[in-house]
Chains A and B, each alone.
Chain A
Amino acid sequence: MAVVFEKPKALADITFHYCPGCTHGIIHRIVCEVIDEMGIEGDTIGVCPVGCSVMAYDYFNCDMIEAPHGRAPAVATGVKRANPDKFVFTYQGDGDLAAIGTAETVHSATRGENIVVIFVNNTTYGMTGGQMAPTTLPGQITQTTPYGRDTSVQGFPIKVCEMLSTLDGTALAQRVAVDSVPHVREAKKAVRKAFENQKNKLGFSIVEVLSTCPTNWGMSPVDSLKRLKEEMIPYYPLGVYKDKTAKEDNQQ
Chain B
Amino acid sequence: MERNLMKGNEAIAEAALRTGCKCFFGYPITPQTEISAYLSKKMPKEGGVFLQAESEIAAINMVLGASASGVRVMTSSSSPGISLKAEGISYIAGSDLPCVIINVQRGGPGLGGIQPSQADYWQATKAIGHGDFHVLVYAPCSVQEMVDTVTKAFDMADSYRMPVIILADGLLGQMMEPVTFPEKKTELPEKPWATNGHGNKRKHNIINSLYLQPDALENSVKNRFERYEELKANHAQAEAYLYEDADIIVAAYGATARIAKSAVNLARESGIKAGLFRPVTLWPFPVKEINEACKNAHTVLCCEMSMGQMIDDVKLALNCSKPVGFFGRTGGIIPKPSEILEEIKKTGGNA
Task: List the interface of chain A (C-beta within 8 A of B).
Answer: 41-45, 47, 54-55, 57-58, 60-68, 71, 74-83, 86, 103-104, 106-107
Q: Which of B51, B62, B66, B210 has the most CB of A within 10 A?
A: B62
Q: Closest CB-CB distance, A69 to chain B, in whole Å?
A: 8
What is the chain A residue whose CB lies nearest that of B194?
Answer: A63
Chain B minimum-CB-distance residue to A57: B206
Q: Which residues of B lie under 8 Å from residue A55 when comparing CB positions?
A: 210
What is the distance, in angstroms, from A28's C-beta to the closest C-beta of chain B? 14
Among B62, B64, B200, B205, the residue within 8 A (CB) of A41 is: B200
A9 to chain B, nearest CB (A): 10
Chain B 42-83 near chain A by CB (<8 Å), digits 1 or 0: 000000010101110111011111111111010000000000
Within 8 A of A (CB), among B75-96: 87-88, 91, 95
Closest to A107 in B: B54
Residue with the greatest number of chain B CB neighbours at <10 A, chosen from A55, A71, A79: A79
Contacting pair B23 A68 (CB below 8 A): no
CB pair A67–B198 under 8 Å, yes or no, is no
Checking A43, A44, A82, A103 against B55 with a beta-carbon cut-off of 8 angstroms, the contacting residue is A103
Chain B residue contacts of A82, Cβ below 8 A: 22-23, 49, 65-66, 69-71, 73, 196
Which residues of A have CB within 8 Å of B71? 82
A-B contact pairs, 13 of them (CB 8 A): A42-B199, A45-B195, A65-B65, A66-B206, A66-B210, A67-B91, A71-B57, A74-B59, A74-B64, A75-B62, A78-B68, A79-B68, A81-B23
Instruction: Give every chain A residue within 8 A of B199 (Cβ-Cβ).
Output: 42-43
Tell me whether A64 and B206 are in contact in the complex, defined as CB-CB below 8 angstroms, given that A42-B197, A44-B197, A78-B63 are known contacts: yes
Residues of B within 8 A of A47 (CB): 65
Q: Which residues of B contact A68 (CB under 8 A)?
A: 61, 64, 87-88, 91
**Residues on A with beta carbons closer than 8 Å to the beta carbon of B195:** 45, 63-65, 79
> What 0/1 readout, one digit per residue, does chain B (261-286) give for beta carbons within 8 Å of chain A?
00000000000000000000000000
Report the Cα distance A43→B51, complex, angstroms: 23
The interface on chain B, measured as residues whose beta carbon lies within 8 A of the other chain's beta carbons, has a size of 41
Alpha-carbon distance A57/B200, docked complex (angstroms) = 17
Say yes or no: A83-B201 contact (C-beta < 8 A), given A55-B210, A66-B207: no
Contact B197 A81 (CB under 8 A): no
Is B73 within 8 A of A62, CB to CB? no
Which residues of chain A come closer than 8 Å to B4, judged between CB atoms? none
**B57 to A86, Cβ gap below 8 A?**
no
Q: Are A78 and B54 in contact (CB under 8 A)?
A: no
Q: Which of B53, B65, B88, B198 contacts A76 (CB 8 A)?
A: B65
Judged by a CB distance under 8 angstroms, whether B25 is at the interface is yes
When chains A and B are docked, how far (Å) is the Cα of A132 from the Cα of B22? 41
Contacts A65-B64, A78-B64 given; 16 further ones with Cβ under 8 A? A42-B201, A43-B197, A45-B196, A45-B197, A54-B210, A65-B208, A67-B91, A68-B88, A68-B91, A71-B64, A74-B61, A75-B62, A81-B23, A81-B49, A83-B197, A104-B61
In the assembly, what is the distance between CA of A65 and CA of B92, in Å? Answer: 11
Give B298-323 as 1s and 0s: 1 = Cβ < 8 Å from A's Cβ atoms: 00000000000000000000000000
Q: Are B208 and A66 in contact (CB under 8 A)?
A: yes
Please report the C-alpha to C-alpha distance between residue A155 and residue B70 in the assembled complex, in whole angstroms. 42
Which single residue of chain A is at the shortest CB-CB distance from B210?
A: A66
Please name the 3 residue pairs, one residue from A and one from B, whose CB atoms are nearest each other, closest first.
Answer: A78-B65, A74-B61, A63-B195
Complex contact A75–B201 (CB within 8 A): no
The digit string for B5-25, where 1 denotes a CB below 8 A from any CB of A, is 000000000000000001101
B72 (CB) vs chain A CBs: closest residue = A82
When A66-B206, A75-B65, A83-B69 are in contact, do A42 and B198 touch as well, CB less than 8 Å?
Answer: yes
Evaluate contact between B205 and A63: CB separation under 8 angstroms.
Answer: yes
Bound together, the chains give a CA A77 to CA B63 distance in angstroms of 9
What residues of A have a CB within 8 angstroms of the CB of B196 in the complex? Answer: 45, 63, 79, 82-83, 86
In the docked arrangement, what's the CA distance between A45 and B207, Å?
11
CA distance A55 to B51 in the complex (A): 29
Query: CA of A66 to CA of B65 in the docked complex: distance in angstroms?
Result: 10
Contact call A63/B65, Cβ cutoff below 8 A: no
Q: Which residue of A lies closest to B63 (CB)?
A: A78
Does B209 make an interface contact (CB < 8 A)?
yes
- For residue A76, which residues in chain B have a CB less than 8 angstroms away from its CB? 65
Most buried by B among A43, A65, A83, A104: A65
Nearest CB on A from B127, distance (A): 17
| Chain B residues within an 8 Å CB radius of A106 | 54
Contact B53 A74 (CB under 8 A): yes
Q: Decide: B61 and A78 in contact? CB cutoff 8 A.
A: yes
How near does chain B come to A221, taking the closest CB pair, in angstroms?
Answer: 25
Q: Which of B25, B55, B201, B210 is the one whose CB lies under 8 Å from A78?
A: B25
Check if B69 sits within 8 Å of A79, measured CB to CB: yes
**Residues in B308-344 with C-beta less than 8 Å from chain A:** none
Is B204 an interface position by the 8 A CB rule? yes
A78 to B73, CA, bound (A): 9
Residues of B within 8 A of A41 (CB): 198, 200
Kindly state the separation between the CA atoms of A59 and B183 in the bound complex, as whole angstroms: 44
Given A45-B195, A58-B206, A66-B210: A77 and B65 interface contact (C-beta under 8 Å): yes
| Contact of B197 with A62 in the complex, beta carbons under 8 Å | yes
Contact assessment for B204 and A107 in the assembled complex, using a CB-CB cutoff below 8 Å: no
**Nearest-Cβ distance from residue B204 to partner chain A, whole angstroms:** 5
Tell me which residues across on chain B come within 8 A of A83, comparing CB atoms.
69, 196-197
| Inter-subunit contact A81/B61 (CB<8 Å) | no
Cβ-closest chain B residue relative to A78: B65
The residue on A at minimum CB distance from B68 is A65
